[in-house]
Chain A
Amino acid sequence: MLKFIAKRLWHTVFVLIGVTMLTFLLLKLTSGSPARLLLSDTATEAQVYAKEVEMGLHDPLYVQYFHYIRDVLRGDLGTSYFFKVPNSRLISQSLPATGYLTMVAMGIALIVSIPLGIIAGMKRGSVTDLVAMFFAMLGQSISSVVLGLLFMLIFAVNLKWLPSMGYGGLAFVIMPATSLAMQMAALITRMLRSGMVDVLQEDYIAATYAKGISRREIVTKYALRNAILPVITIIGLQVGTFLGGAIVTEQIFAWPGIGSLTVQAIGNRDFSLVQSILLIISALFVGINLLVDIIYTLVDPRMSFN
């Protein structure tokens, strides 16, 4: 198992190097000189050129990349062109809001999908199963843009039960979190259902029936443990979709997280900030999946053999 974890760690390092190359190249793709954005509007061509040389923009690409990596490793993500403060500070200020939103969304997704998926898988063809499948299909087909705006229209505009936007406690987080959670809830419901259906057909489940073990115990002790394994991986992979979806959802509900910061940065053409956000989000995503894979080896003993 340690060998697996070591291999996985090496893989993570490799992927992170690749990600830094991509984010580095992204900034090179943007048009316009970053030096000009940092200087005042009245700066002359010569001043811009001098600033560019000072910033190392005329060095060969590999030298610039090397400097970029060196700065990132030191925790220096550069300075925002627009806000004129370190990018790392802006990002760390907005991360908690996004973390809060995604955690609540994840909680909602799991609370809804796990019981729904299990019951649907146990009682194939029942009314619950049909409801679950309909929910899953609808959930996968409704984008968080549409769902967010529908929620806002129903619960904030018409019923006036909830505040339509802003940051705060349960009343504020419930709409953005639910609209973000829908896709994941739908996916997990489907996966868990099909997992349960498959596992319940296995011979060892028939054997437990033959032994006279109660149905309840069979489901919780034997079937669920196997059916839930792929769900763990999916949760890790879906974090990426979550972070992407959060950008849209935060934008709709004026949630002051990393998504709103991204949209703001793009509006200001603050590409150094966009680059840093992309790097941090990717690093977070890679880290979470590393964690998920390690948890997986701990939960599933079969993993350690291959």
Chain B
Amino acid sequence: MSRHELWRRIKKSKFFVIGAILVILIILLSVFAKQMAPFDPLKQNLRARLKEPTGQWSNFIFGGDAMGRDILSRLLIGSQVSLQISFTVVILTAVIGTVLGIVAGYFGSWVDTIIMRFSDIQVSIPPMVLAIAVMAALGNSITNLIMVLVFTRWVQYARVVRGSVMMIRNTDFIRASTVLGSGKLRIMFTQILPNVLTSLIIVMSQEFGRTIMTESALSFLGLGVPPPAPSWGVMIAEGREYLSTKPFVVLVPAIALMIAVLAFNFLGDGVRDVLDPKNKN
């Protein structure tokens, strides 16, 4: 696809444009979270306990939580935590899934059988249930959370990549490469990898929103980011008690979560529209 054609498709896709703008905004907010946050997100201030939103940036614009911490500051730093986790998870999962998918697809036979059988077992356990059980067994920390999320999502990539590899494995240019004496590793990573990159990017773009959502659900259950770190899931869980009296404590992180996931899903759909216009799914 020429650069011109790519640009034309990007401009045509409303999803891509809206999603990209929102995602860039969210990333900027989280990168500069420390500079923008008016308070220390962990600092408790009893006088601001459950303080109603004031509408002034540096005076509890979104109110204070049950410990008198500034909700805005927690929201900003929390976005950093969520984004760092989901970026790490998506990239790690993509790398692991791709390597396994290429190896399975290229070597075939027993290597393929082992990897694919393992993926069969993996997908037969509902991911959220598995994540909950493993987090409970390991104890909650950010490292464990990342490991668990990678562990429950790699199959997605491995299957897509394996499918693409099997399609191009027997094409003439791969054969030509073998005849010219290229080693297996070289063929896998210099010839095959660039050819599966498109499908890979599409899957990755779809995974961000899902990862943010899963992370927040686990944190909500107390099995994700350990408190007092300000994760959106933790904030929602902590505010639940005050749902009937001070709903803003829950509403602010809940709406932020919704907007963030929506933005990443828009971008994900946009990326698919741009890279794979045949697929209207």
Contact = CB atoms under 8 A, between A and B. Distances in A.
Interface of A: 11, 14-16, 18-19, 21-22, 26-27, 29-31, 137-138, 140-146, 149-150, 152-153, 157, 164, 190-191, 194, 197-198, 239-241, 243-245, 247-248, 251-252, 262-263, 266, 271, 274-275, 277-278, 281-282, 285-286, 289
A271 B221 CA distance: 16
Contacts of A281: 125-126, 129
Chain A contact surface mostly: helix
A22 B122 CA distance: 9
A149 B129 contact: no
A282 B124 contact: yes
Contacts, number: 141
A141 B220 contact: no
A145 B243 contact: no
Contacts of A197: 280
Given A19-B124, A137-B265, 18 more contacts: A14-B117, A22-B125, A29-B137, A137-B266, A137-B269, A141-B209, A141-B265, A145-B217, A149-B240, A149-B250, A153-B243, A157-B243, A157-B244, A240-B129, A241-B128, A262-B129, A266-B132, A278-B133
B258 A142 contact: yes
A157 B255 CA distance: 18
Interface residues of B, number: 45
A142 B261 contact: yes
B137 A247 contact: no
A286 B120 CA distance: 10
Nearest to A282: B125
Nearest to B127: A244
B278 to A, nearest CB: 10
Interface in B121-151: 121, 124-134, 136-139
Contacts of B236: 145-146, 149
Contact of A262 (B117, B124, B132, B258): B132
Interface string B217-250: 1001101000000000100100010011001001
A240 B254 contact: no
Contact of B125 (A146, A252, A278): A278
Given A15-B120, A29-B138, A248-B221, A278 B261 contact: no
A243 B127 CA distance: 10
Contact of A11 (B120, B217, B258): B120
Contact of B129 (A31, A194, A198, A244): A244
6 contacts: A16-B124, A143-B213, A145-B217, A240-B127, A243-B126, A277-B133
A88 B280 CA distance: 45
B67 to A, nearest CB: 20
B198 to A, nearest CB: 19
- Kindly name the residue among A197, A266, A275 whose own CB sees the greatest number of chain B CB atoms within 10 A: A266
A247 B129 contact: yes
B164 interface: no
Contacts of A143: 213, 216-217, 257-258, 261
B115 interface: no
A143 B281 CA distance: 21
